[in-house]
Structures are given as structure tokens and as C-alpha cells.
Amino acid sequence: MKIALAQINFHIGNFESNISKIKSAIRRAKTENVDLIVFAELAVSGYPPRDFLEFDDFISQCKKAVDDIAKCCIGISAIVGSPTKNPEFQGKYLYNAAFLLEDGKVKEVRNKTLLPNYDIFDEYRYFEPNKVFEIIDVKGKKIALTICEDLWNVGNNPLYTVNPMDRLMEQKPEMIINIAASPFNFDQHETRTEILKKNALKYNLPLFYVNHVGAQTELLFDGGSMVINAEGKIIRELKYFKEDFQVFDIENLEGNSNHRPLLKYHPSNVKTGLIHDALVMGVRNYFKKLGFSKAILGLSGGIDSAVTLAVAVKALGKDNVLSVLLPSQFSSQHSVDDSLELVKNLGSPHKKIEIEDIYRSFEGSLSSHFQNLPFGIAEENIQARIRGVLLMALSNKFGYILLNTSNKSEAAVGYGTLYGDMNGGLSVLGDVYKTRVFDMARYMNRNGEIIPENIITKPPSAELRPDQKDSDSLPDYEILDEILFRYIENRQGPKELIRMGFEEAIVKRILRLVNINEYKRYQTPPILRVSAKAFGMGRRMPIVAKYLS
């Protein structure tokens, strides 16, 4: 029996495109004499469809898509994920379902049991959990068909009281299929591989796993679909960050080459390499799926805009990313020189617009209202906002999407100007701490200098007043990032951090900054998610609150 895994980049709500990609994979599978082709979770709608699931019209379109795809399944079976109506009055309105299509129609439907409802997941908002366990039969093979999280309770996950595989084992399946929508973070491939291996080993069954690939706004799906044999050995992984299609003969699994795409990263920088590739895919897909091709960004001479530009050039091509240098009276010559060297290295276009005249014009209009108060945050922000207006003007005039260049450390402590440098359609580095932005720059320079060395080595500065340095107002990034990581990713509290040896005053100040700047993060662009706890949909905080603040 031959099984094909189809790892596809779907487009949420774009039924025409999703159906067409699925049908084309089915046609290809037929030419390779495949018996069963497997697609990912909620393939027809794309994942996550979020509140589109509350629209009857959207659900009808999902049903039509499944019926349409079924018609192609003559002489081949297919497993396709789709939301489907719960036929009972009782319970949530929908199931998260896997359809088995055969002989031109829907032969079986199996529903998801374990519904993730943490971090970025909201599945309990929409779906009723499955309570009936039954294997499926394809060409006489008994298959335990599961959906993503269903395999994530290997007997020890406190979130769930049911283990779908334990129940399915009562019917003696011969293999496991899991269709998934498991988003990337820089530790996720390890966790995921471990969980899948444990399942194969525990049940002593081969496991076929199909994941999504591609970016859905902030969520990055890395692919890495795989086949694991009954001894828990990975037979083959599909590509990371790219569509892929592979056929496996289940009678001769070992005959498939042992392809491990992650081996391409040097062991010392697997995480940085993965983040880099994830971000490139994130930018590329954001533009492509929205129907845009050109990006614009402000190049300050600092590391964040430099790395953002380099990622964007990888994603969109050098001719499609316009850098704008926007120096003020406070900008250093090296900022301009370093920026020019960077665009030269990349071969990408740039413009330069001095902002001092406009700044003077604001100063003139405001002077009578500012009552001779000294230069301060207001004046600093005016500069950042003038840059924001100029970049948006070019964006509006020529159809560029503005890329936001803030990093996670800045976003965390509110070191940035709302409606100024916090503007953009998409934040590329908003889930990357400053210290890792430096790692990324070095990683991108691994085969020759792209980011000028001076950008990497000079002390970071916003250059909004004379001789300003980030270190005037923030602790060293090494310390800042470690406290932020422990507070944000690990949810460690002040007492715990102080007990670990961090200075009390610094801990309190940083935690307070994170909490009082929730209002700024509320209005920032979507952030490409590369960590297990990114700002955005996976971290939901009240703005008006008084906790550690």
C-alpha cells in the first residue's frame, strides 16, 4: 500500500486555491499509484480560520469543498481536514474533522478529541470534542486516524482526561495517521518529534504525520511532516518551510531515504537558522497572500532595521525592498554610512529624506503651546512620528507594505514610539530578543559580510537626542533579555527572579515596564511568532490593571 503525504501551504478562506492545490496533489498521487493521500488539519479552510468559523456561509463553503474534492477520489482514497457541523443539538456548533474520501464521496468522518485552548489556540471556542472512537479501514488496512493534539496526551498531559489513541488501540489498528496544524517555534520541532516518537513506540505502530507549511499572518507553520516506524525511528522528514509531497510504501518503509532536512543547519546555530528561515517564509507569505510584492522600511543605521531589511530581501528579492534613510539633526554620520554600506551589500534600492525641515515646522506650530518647556520625550517622539508619516506616505503612494523593525526586547519594555517606529503592516523581529537579533546578523554574515560589522559592534542608540544610547535608559541587553525571557516565556514572578540573584530594583523596574506598556503593544502590527510565547494572540493581557506596575 502506498501513502502520499501532501504538505501544502494553504490560504485561509481561499477555497478556490486550496481546492485546486489539493486536487493537483491528488492527480499527482494517482500518477504514482498511491492508494491513500493525506492532507493536513482543516486543509480546505486553512488554519486557523478563527471567527470565520462562526459564519454559516463559511461552513457551507467548507462542505462544498470537501464534496468537490471527493469527486476526484476515484481509484484513490484521501484524508482531508475540514470543519463540519455537529449534527446534534447538544454541544458546540462544529467539529474539527478528518474526512476519508473514496469512490467519489465521503466515506468516513472522524472528529478531533483533544482541543487545544492555550497560547495561540482557541479551539474550544468553536469545536465540540469528539467522544466516539473508531478506526477507519482503507484497502483492508486498519488505521487510527487522529488530529494533531489527539496525540499530545501520551498518558501524562494534565490538560486532558482522555487519550484517543488508548481508545483506538482497542480496535487493533495497524498504523497511525495524524493530520496536524502545529505552528513553529524554535523549540517546537524537538518537542513535536519527541511526542510523535513516543506515540509510535508506545503503540508499536508506524506513524504518518502531515503538518501545514506556510505563514498565516503571525503564525508560521514549518512543515516537517514525517513518517516514523514502529520502533520510533524517523524514516523521513518532509521539507521545512516549503511545500512537499512524498510517497511511502508501507510494506517497505525502510526503503525510503533517511532524509533529515534540519541537518543542513550547523549544530551551533540550529535555532538561529530556523528562526531566520521561518521569518523569511513569514514575510514572503504575508506579501504573497495579500497580493503585494513590495516592502518599504526605515533604515536607521541600527541592527534591527538592518536585519529586517536583510530578511525582507531574502523573502521578496532585492529589487522589491525600498530602504529609506531618514536622518535628523541628531543622526550620526556613521548611521548614514553604515546604512549605505548595507544597501550596497544587498544591492537593494534606497532613498534619503532629511526630516529636520519638517521637524522645524512642527516645532513652529507647537512652540506657543509647549510653553518653553525643555526638550523631552514629546520632541523625541515627533521625530519618530515624522519618519512614520513619510514612510506611510510612500507606502500609500506606491503600494509598499511598511515593515516594522522593532525587536522583542523593545516591544516588551515599551522602548519605541507608537505611531512612529512602531508602525508597519507586519513586525518581522517583534518576537526576537535584541541579543538574538545580533545572533541573526552574525548568522546572515556566515558566508561573507551582509550586515556591516560596525552595525553589529556599535552601541545601540535611538538617536532622538544628542549622544543618546539605549544603555542610558535600559539595563544591558544580556540582563534585560534574560529577565524578560523568564518573565514572559517562563512566567516567573518577581520573588522567584530575585531569589535567582537578579537585582531587585532591576527586576521590579523591568516587570513594571512590561506591564505598563501593554497599551502600546495592543496597537502594534502582528508579530511573526518564533517563540513559545510571542506578543499578540498568544499572550492576552488587560491594559487597565495594576499588577507589578
Q: Which residue has the cell 523573502?
A: 315
Identify the three-state secondary structure at position 516: helix
What is the smallest separation between the CB atom of 251 and its own copies, expressed in angstroms? 40
Longest Cα–Cα distance in the chain: 85
> Is 385 one of the binding residues for its own copies (CB under 8 A)?
yes
Amino acid at 417: T
Q: Kindly state the number of chain residues that form the binding site for its own copies, as judged by CB under 8 A.
A: 94
What is the smallest separation between the CB atom of 357 and its own copies, expressed in angstroms? 6
Name the residue nearer to its own copies (CB basis): 160 or 265: 160
Please tell me the total number of residues recorded for the chain in this structure: 549
Identify the three-state secondary structure at position 195: helix
> Is 57 one of the binding residues for its own copies (CB under 8 A)?
yes
Q: How far apart are CA 479 and CA 477, in angstroms?
A: 5
**What's the N-to-C CA distance of the chain in angstroms?**
61
> Is 523 one of the binding residues for its own copies (CB under 8 A)?
yes
- Reply yes or no on whether 41 is catalytic: yes
Name the residue nearer to its own copies (CB basis): 505 or 544: 544
> Is 62 one of the binding residues for its own copies (CB under 8 A)?
no
> Is 232 one of the binding residues for its own copies (CB under 8 A)?
no
Name the residue nearer to its own copies (CB basis): 14 or 445: 14
253-292 residues near its own copies, rule: CB under 8 A = 285-286, 289-290
Burial pattern 21-59, b for ≥16 Cβ within 10 A else e, equals bbbebbeebbeeebbbbbbbbbbbbbbbbeebbeeeebb
What is the smallest separation between the CB atom of 386 and its own copies, expressed in angstroms? 7
Q: How far apart are CA 143 and CA 163, in angstroms?
A: 16
Would you state the cell numbers that stand for residue 6, as one nine-digit string? 501532501
Q: How far apart are CA 157 and CA 124, in angstroms?
A: 17
> Is 394 one of the binding residues for its own copies (CB under 8 A)?
yes
Q: Pick the binder of its own copies from 376, 499, 500, 504 (CB under 8 A).
A: 376
Name the residue nearer to its own copies (CB basis): 144 or 528: 528
Going by C-beta distance under 8 Å and a sequence separation of 6 or more, which residues neighbour residue 468? 330, 461, 462
Dihedral over alpha carbons 479, 484, 486, 488 (to 10 degrees): 180
Residues 115-144, mask of contacts with its own copies (x by CB under 8 A): --xx---x-xx-------------------
> Quick check: 422 and 416 in contact, CB under 8 A?
yes
352-371 residues near its own copies, rule: CB under 8 A = 353-355, 357-358, 360-362, 364-366, 369-370
Q: Pick the binder of its own copies from 74, 263, 389, 500 (CB under 8 A).
A: 389
What's the sign of the alpha-carbon dihedral 79, 84, 86, 91? positive
Identify the three-state secondary structure at position 111: strand
What is the smallest separation between the CB atom of 548 and its own copies, expressed in angstroms? 8
DSSP state of 282: H
Of the residues 41, 108, 123, 128, only one is catalytic, namely: 41
> Is 498 one of the binding residues for its own copies (CB under 8 A)?
no
What is the smallest separation between the CB atom of 220 and its own copies, expressed in angstroms? 12
Q: Pick the binder of its own copies from 386, 411, 455, 510 (CB under 8 A).
A: 386
> Quick check: 424 and 331 in contact, CB under 8 A?
no
> Is 81 one of the binding residues for its own copies (CB under 8 A)?
no
Of the residues 62, 72, 73, 148, only one is catalytic, namely: 148
Name the residue nearer to its own copies (CB basis): 98 or 358: 358
Identify the three-state secondary structure at position 340: helix
Name the residue nearer to its own copies (CB basis): 74 or 393: 393
- Reply yes or no on whether 148 is catalytic: yes
Q: Pick the binder of its own copies from 39, 52, 240, 535 (CB under 8 A).
A: 52
Active site residues: 41, 112, 148
